[in-house]
Amino acid sequence: MKIAILSRNSNLYSTKRLVEAGKARGHEIEVIDTLKCYMNITSTKPMVHYQNRNLDDFDAIIPRIGASITFYGTAVIRQFEMMGVFSLNESVSITRARDKLRSLQLLSRKGLGLPITGFAHSTKMTQELIKLVGGAPLVIKLLEGTQGKGVVLAETEGAAESVIDAFREMDANILVQEFIKEARGSDIRCFVIGDQVVASMMRTAKEGEFRSNLHRGGTAKIVEITPEERQAALDATKALGLNLAGVDMLRSSRGPLIMEVNSSPGLNGIETATGKDVAGMIIEYLERMDKNSTETKGNG
């Protein structure tokens, strides 16, 4: 197979591991800088161009689209889709997952466990929002935040009111969520490929911090998940239409609660914590999809 990895930085751990895994299995791999692609949008022969050449010979693409380039990145993915190229995650699924509010609404519609979450536009609703999620302590999240940025724990109602009002005065969109005390600063990331949870780790926040993100000094270790947690991860991935996802959840007294579904999960933490060749599993999945596509065309 000829596989393109859409990534702005070929030196990132995840990108390098995917290149290594693909080449180890005999595939031709090329890293394409997403923002340097340009497109010919036509009904006769849609095309993606890159470095003065047509990208019309790839069998599949692996999107590694950062949050800051979601709009342009998904446009490039759509163009590849129009050309009949298989994308590990489809453009529409990525946009669903990137929109925190939309993704929570979709997960809620499927009946999945979620922290109680409030959303409002007017600062006049601040006290009602706080009551809605059970009062302080509570968590305030910027909709556009990633890797734990823009996430604040308000330990008192007064602090919560101040932070919410400040964000709204900046015209920032925020979510207000209940704080799950029993999680004790830890969460679980389940790495899903296709219809399988292939690896899981527990991330724990450093002392004095409630955010367990590894980018913020958190630690990770392999964890045995329950059947309920496994099913929740699979259901969340399916609800957003993803083939690859990092599903973050909290262990609570009422079962697993989904915090976020990441459409471009990093490989460093999960491979280091579990010792598993997750990059290789991703390439294997693309191989299966390519084989199924070939057999379908042959039967047709």
Residue 197 predicted with pLDDT over 80: yes
**Which residues lie closer than 8 Å to 208 by C-beta, 6 or more apart?**
none
Residue 293 domain flag: no
Based on the fold, state whether residues 163 and 231 are members of the same structural domain.
no
Report pLDDT for 164: 85
Report pLDDT for 182: 86
Question: Is residue 122 very low, low, confident or very high in pLDDT (cuts 50, 70, 90)?
Answer: confident
Give the CATH number for residue 138.
3.30.1490.20
Question: Is residue 241 very low, low, confident or very high in pLDDT (cuts 50, 70, 90)?
Answer: very high
Give the CATH number for residue 41.
3.40.50.20
Residue that terminates a domain, selected from 179, 197, 212: 179
Based on the fold, state whether residues 220 and 246 are members of the same structural domain.
yes
Based on the fold, state whether residues 167 and 126 are members of the same structural domain.
yes
Based on the fold, state whether residues 186 and 266 are members of the same structural domain.
yes
Residue 293 predicted with pLDDT over 80: no
Based on the fold, state whether residues 55 and 125 are members of the same structural domain.
no
Question: Is residue 170 very low, low, confident or very high in pLDDT (cuts 50, 70, 90)?
Answer: confident
Residue 224 domain flag: yes
Residue 292 domain flag: no
Residue 297 predicted with pLDDT over 80: no
Residue 217 predicted with pLDDT over 80: no
Provide the domain count of the chain. Answer: 3
Mean pLDDT, residues 128-151 taken together:
81
72-87 pLDDT tens trace: 999 999 999 999 999 9
Report pLDDT for 296: 62
17-59 pLDDT tens trace: 999 999 999 999 999 999 999 999 887 889 999 999 999 999 9
Question: Is residue 142 very low, low, confident or very high in pLDDT (cuts 50, 70, 90)?
Answer: confident
Q: Bigger pLDDT: 207 or 36? A: 36
Residue 95 domain flag: no
Residue 105 predicted with pLDDT over 70: yes
243-256 pLDDT tens trace: 999 999 999 999 99
Question: Is residue 191 very low, low, confident or very high in pLDDT (cuts 50, 70, 90)?
Answer: very high
Based on the fold, state whether residues 171 and 211 are members of the same structural domain.
no
Distance CA 95, CA 113 (A): 21
Residue 203 domain flag: yes
Q: Residue 50: name the closest of 31, 75, 28 by CA.
A: 31
Report pLDDT for 159: 92
By residue range, what is the domain housing residue 212?
182-279
Based on the fold, state whether residues 193 and 268 are members of the same structural domain.
yes
Based on the fold, state whether residues 238 and 209 are members of the same structural domain.
yes
Question: Residue 47: phi, psi to the nearest 5?
Answer: -150, 145
Residue 38 domain flag: yes
Residue 174 domain flag: yes
Report pLDDT for 143: 79
Report pLDDT for 158: 92
Based on the fold, state whether residues 128 and 78 are members of the same structural domain.
no
Based on the fold, state whether residues 268 and 197 are members of the same structural domain.
yes
Based on the fold, state whether residues 122 and 80 are members of the same structural domain.
no
Residue 94 domain flag: no
Mean pLDDT, residues 294-300 taken together:
62
Pairing type for strands 186-193 and 244-252 reads antiparallel
Based on the fold, state whether residues 172 and 149 are members of the same structural domain.
yes
